[in-house]
Amino acid sequence: MNFYKAFSLASLTLSFVLNINAQVSNKTSKQVENPNIVIIFMDDMGYGDLSLNGAIDYKTPNIDSMANEGMVFTNFYAAQAVCSASRAGLLTGCYPNRVGIHGALRPNSKVGLNQNENTIAEVVKENGYATAIFGKWHLGDAEEFLPLQHGFDEFFGLPYSNDMWPVDYAGNPKEDAKYPPLPLILNNKANTYVKTLEDQAQLTTLYTNKAVEFIQKNKNNPFLLYLPHSMPHVPIAVSSKFKGKSKQGLYGDLMMEIDWSVGEVLKALKENGLEENTLVIFTSDNGPWLNYGNHAGSTGGLREGKGTSWEGGQREPCLMKWPNIIEKGSLTNNIASTIDLLPTIAEITKGSLPKHKIDGVSLLPLLKGDVKANPRNHMFYYYGKNNLEAVRKDNWKLVFPHTHRSYENNLPGNNGFPGKVEKIQVKEMKLYNLRRDPGERYNVISLYPEVVNEIKELAELAREDLGDNLTNRNGKNNREPGQVK
């Protein structure tokens, strides 16, 4: 039995049973009183990768429908511009350096998300929510760090990035590979292994089927569904039903398949009578890995990409849909971040906030249409282990001296092979007006000294609290990651 059939046969059987059960069940009062939460989280998707943001030669109608039926965030930020750190911020409501997670954790990592940290899953479980993650975890692959130890009832997916496998860029096995076989984990144990690009091409479908089954199974109970797709992180792959469907090559095909996945989730909610009582959130972990050329996404004109604190690395599309709560076709230019999702969801589900310090703020007033609401007027751009590289306040962004990767002025790669990346040094502070100059091209630091001083004061507060390696500062409130026992 092949890779896909091993899961799809069981899925079809379970789906049939669940559909029958759903038809004879009525919604419980608990389901009505407690809104469901769905978080769809992309991997390395750019600001310009949706048709509503200008993508060309393919369409994303299901994702676009969330904009028509909900709220578009134009200034939404990942917690940090790289995989593990970004996910730590999403799930804990903290800047990643507060919880000791940075970079992209490797296979057999000796660290992971500390079990003392409270995740969104743990926040909602206290009120009886079923919880599941189907997709990429990337917060430690030792069993003690896996999702079931962090509040999730179910896990099916990869423990880390899909490029951390013993296969080369052309899809051929490596004899001298530094990575072990790539496991596809069911709950706490490897169930099978992803060995080929053809296997990778089934991941989006497998995750989507699991998500739909989970929705059907929990029709009468409140739930949190976390769907962190492995795509469009390289190596990109798409199932046969979408291959060749776009005019934008494999990447366009892949985005069409992701859009299909979103549509399947939205359809499952509607068919099970849950659409009106579910908050659906769609966003991404960081910007595109631009040196992969036609296998990478678009920043939509924002500067640089993944792994940088420039806007193309950290500003992401974000759509939220919640009928009768979020006004249809609404848009906000307010600053918001993935670290704000935990306190927002805690307020919505009447869950308790973690006792230790978090950095997120509730966006609920904004979602409810309060025109005076401004939950967040600033944010910190940390990168690396603990480098404070920039601070945004309102429409202003102050960039501090630092060294960063740069994709500019280099020929990108092609067809799955990477191009060159350089290291560039920012030698002096720079100030940008992101309302007038979202591409961060015009340094206006000499014109607004009072703005610079205001933001520098915020930076000092961050350094006192969280530290800053660039200025050799130790923070007072950083916590340790989990360590393999």
Q: Is 318 a catalytic residue?
A: no
The answer to whether residue 31 scores a pLDDT higher than 80 is no
Architecture of domain 3-378: 3-Layer(aba) Sandwich (3.40)
CA dihedral 189, 191, 194, 195 (to 10 degrees): 110
Each domain of the chain, given as residue ranges in start order, spans 3-378, 380-483
Average pLDDT of every residue of the chain:
95
Which residue of the set 83, 94, 295, 318 is catalytic?
Answer: 83
Query: How would you class 26 by CB atoms within 10 Å of its CB: exposed for 0-12, middle for 13-18, buried for 19 or more?
Result: exposed
Topology of domain 380-483 in CATH is: Arylsulfatase, C-terminal domain (3.30.1120)
The answer to whether residue 249 scores a pLDDT higher than 70 is yes
Give the model's pLDDT for residue 411.
96
Give the model's pLDDT for residue 2.
58
The answer to whether residue 161 scores a pLDDT higher than 60 is yes
Q: Is 138 a catalytic residue?
A: yes
The answer to whether residue 458 scores a pLDDT higher than 70 is yes
DSSP for residue 417:
B
Strand partners, 383: 387
- Residue whose tokens read 């848009």: 331
What pTM was computed for the model? 0.94
Tens digits of residue pLDDT in 281-309: 999 999 999 999 999 999 999 999 999 99
The DSSP string of 86-126 is: HHHHHHHSS-GGGTT--S-PPTT-SEE--TTSPPHHHHHHT
Longest dimension (CA), the chain: 69
Give the model's confidence band at 32: pLDDT under 50 very low, under 70 low, under 90 confident, else very high.
low
How far is residue 476's CA from residue 118's CA, in Å, rounded to a whole number?
Answer: 20
How far is residue 448's CA from residue 458's CA, in Å, rounded to a whole number?
Answer: 16
DSSP for residue 414:
B
Give the model's pLDDT for residue 1.
44
The answer to whether residue 232 scores a pLDDT higher than 90 is yes
Which residue of the set 138, 150, 229, 233 is catalytic?
Answer: 138
